[in-house]
Structure 1
Amino acid sequence: MPLETPSRIVQELASRGYNAEREAVTLLAGAANPALVLEAAIEVADDDALVLTVEHVRRALDAEPPADANVNATATAPAATAGSTGPESAGSEAPSESADPKPSDGNPDPTRADDPPVSTPDAGPVTESRTGETPVEAGGSAGTETTGGSAIDPEGSTAPRTSRTPTPAEITGDITGQSTGTGEYKQFVRVFRDRYERLSKQLRGRVNHRPAEAIQSMPGRSDAEMIGLVNDIRSTASGHWLVELEDTTGVFPCLVMKDKDIASLVDELLMDECIAVSGTLADDAGILFVDDIYFPDVPRNYRPSTADRHVQAALISDVHVGSQEFVADAWSRFTSWLHTDEAEAVEYLLIAGDMVEGVGVYPNQDEELDIIDIYEQYERFSEHLKEVPGDMEIVMIPGNHDAVRLAEPQPGFDDELRGIMSAHDARFTGNPSTVTLEGVSILMYHGVSIDEVIAELPEEKANYDEPHKAMYQLLKKRHVAPQYGGHMRLAPEEKDYLAMDTVPDVFHTGHVHKIGWGKYHNVLAVNSGCWQAQTDFQKSVNIDPDVAHAPILDLDTLDMTVRKFI
Structure 2
Amino acid sequence: MPLESNARIVSELASRGYNAEREAVTVLAGADRPIETLDAVVDHAPDDALRITVEHVRSVLDEMSAPATPSDVAVDPTPTTADPESATADSEPATGDPTPATVNSTPSATEPAGEAVENGRSPVETKGSPGATAVDEATPPTTDAPGTEPGSHAAADHDRDPSRRELEIANDMTGHSTGTGEYDDFVRTFRDRYERLSKLLRGRVNHRPAEAIADMPGGSEAAMIGLVNDVRSTKSGHWLVELEDTTGTFPALIMKDKGLADVVDEILMDECVAVDGTLADDSGILFADSLHFPDIPRTRVTGGADRHVQAALVSDVHVGSDEFMADAWSRFTDWLHTPEAEPVEYLLLAGDMVEGVGVYPNQDEELDVVDIYDQYEVFAEYLKEVPADTEIVMIPGNHDAVRLAEPQPGFNEELRSIMDVHDARIVSNPATVTVEGVDVLMYHGVSLDEVIAELPEEKASYDEPHKAMYQLLKKRHVAPQFGGHTRVAPEDRDYLVIENVPDVFHTGHVHKLGWGKYHGVLAVNSGCWQAQTDFQKSVNIDPDAGYAPILDLDTLDMTVRKFT
What's 1:501 paired with? 499
> How far is the alpha carbon of 1:302 from its aligned partner?
1.8
Please give the per-residue CA displacement for 1:496-521, whole angstroms capped at 9, x wherever unaligned. 00001100000000000000000000
Equivalence map 1:69-80=2 (5 Å): none
Equivalence map 1:45-444=2 (5 Å): 106-108=120-122, 111-114=124-127, 134=135, 162-163=159-160, 165=162, 167-444=165-442
3-state SS, counterpart of residue 255 of structure 1 = strand
* 1:317 counterpart letter in structure 2: S
The 1:464/1:97 distance shift into structure 2, 3 A limit, reads closer
The 1:418/1:98 distance shift into structure 2, 3 A limit, reads closer
The 1:243/1:98 distance shift into structure 2, 3 A limit, reads closer
> How far is the alpha carbon of 1:563 from its aligned partner?
0.4
Q: Distance in 2 between matches of 1:518 and 1:537?
A: 29
Q: Distance in 1 between matches of 2:177 and 2:416?
A: 18
The answer for unaligned runs of 5 or more in structure 2 is: 1-109, 146-156
Paired residues of 2:112 and 2:143 also in contact (CA < 8 A) = no
Please give the per-residue CA displacement for 1:274-310, whole angstroms capped at 9, x wherever unaligned. 0001101111111111111111100001221111110
> How far is the alpha carbon of 1:112 from its aligned partner?
3.4
3-state SS, counterpart of residue 378 of structure 1 = helix
Paired residues of 2:312 and 2:550 also in contact (CA < 8 A) = yes
The answer for unaligned runs of 5 or more in structure 1 is: 1-91, 116-127, 144-159
Paired residues of 1:335 and 1:388 also in contact (CA < 8 A) = yes
Q: Distance in 1 between matches of 2:213 and 2:369?
A: 60
Paired residues of 2:274 and 2:292 also in contact (CA < 8 A) = yes
The 1:298/1:342 distance shift into structure 2, 3 A limit, reads same
Paired residues of 1:93 and 1:141 also in contact (CA < 8 A) = no
Paired residues of 2:116 and 2:559 also in contact (CA < 8 A) = no
Please give the per-residue CA displacement for 1:391-410, whole angstroms capped at 9, x wherever unaligned. 00000000000000001000
Paired residues of 2:528 and 2:546 also in contact (CA < 8 A) = yes
Q: Distance in 1 between matches of 2:369 and 2:161?
A: 34
Which deviates more, 164-173 or 498-507? 164-173
> How far is the alpha carbon of 1:489 from its aligned partner?
0.7
* 1:498 counterpart letter in structure 2: L
Paired residues of 2:113 and 2:332 also in contact (CA < 8 A) = no
With normalisation by structure 1, the TM-score equals 0.75
> How far is the alpha carbon of 1:168 from its aligned partner?
4.5
The 1:411/1:250 distance shift into structure 2, 3 A limit, reads same
3-state SS, counterpart of residue 189 of structure 2 = helix
Please give the per-residue CA displacement for 1:107-143, whole angstroms capped at 9, x wherever unaligned. 235x43249xxxxxxxxxxxx9x99995597767799
> How far is the alpha carbon of 1:356 from its aligned partner?
0.3
Paired residues of 2:115 and 2:561 also in contact (CA < 8 A) = no
Paired residues of 1:140 and 1:340 also in contact (CA < 8 A) = no
The 1:114/1:347 distance shift into structure 2, 3 A limit, reads same
Give the counterpart of 2:458 among 442, 445, 460: 460
Q: Distance in 2 between matches of 1:371 and 1:97?
A: 30
Q: Distance in 2 between matches of 1:549 and 1:97?
A: 9
Q: Distance in 1 between matches of 2:115 and 2:175?
A: 49
Paired residues of 1:93 and 1:140 also in contact (CA < 8 A) = no
Paired residues of 1:318 and 1:530 also in contact (CA < 8 A) = yes
Paired residues of 2:142 and 2:331 also in contact (CA < 8 A) = no
What's 2:5 paired with? none
With normalisation by structure 2, the TM-score equals 0.75
3-state SS, counterpart of residue 538 of structure 1 = helix
Instruction: Using CA pairs under 8 Å that are at least 6 residues apart, name the structure with larger relative contact order, 1 or 2.
Output: 2
3-state SS, counterpart of residue 421 of structure 2 = helix
What's 1:479 paired with? 477
Q: Distance in 2 between matches of 1:250 and 1:444?
A: 34
Paired residues of 1:107 and 1:517 also in contact (CA < 8 A) = yes
CA RMSD of aligned residues (A): 2.5
> How far is the alpha carbon of 1:446 from its aligned partner?
0.2
Count of residue pairs brought into register by the alignment: 442
The 1:310/1:139 distance shift into structure 2, 3 A limit, reads farther
Larger Rg, first or second structure (1 or 2): 2
> How far is the alpha carbon of 1:258 from its aligned partner?
1.0
> How far is the alpha carbon of 1:263 from its aligned partner?
2.1
3-state SS, counterpart of residue 331 of structure 2 = helix
Paired residues of 2:193 and 2:493 also in contact (CA < 8 A) = yes
What's 1:152 paired with? none
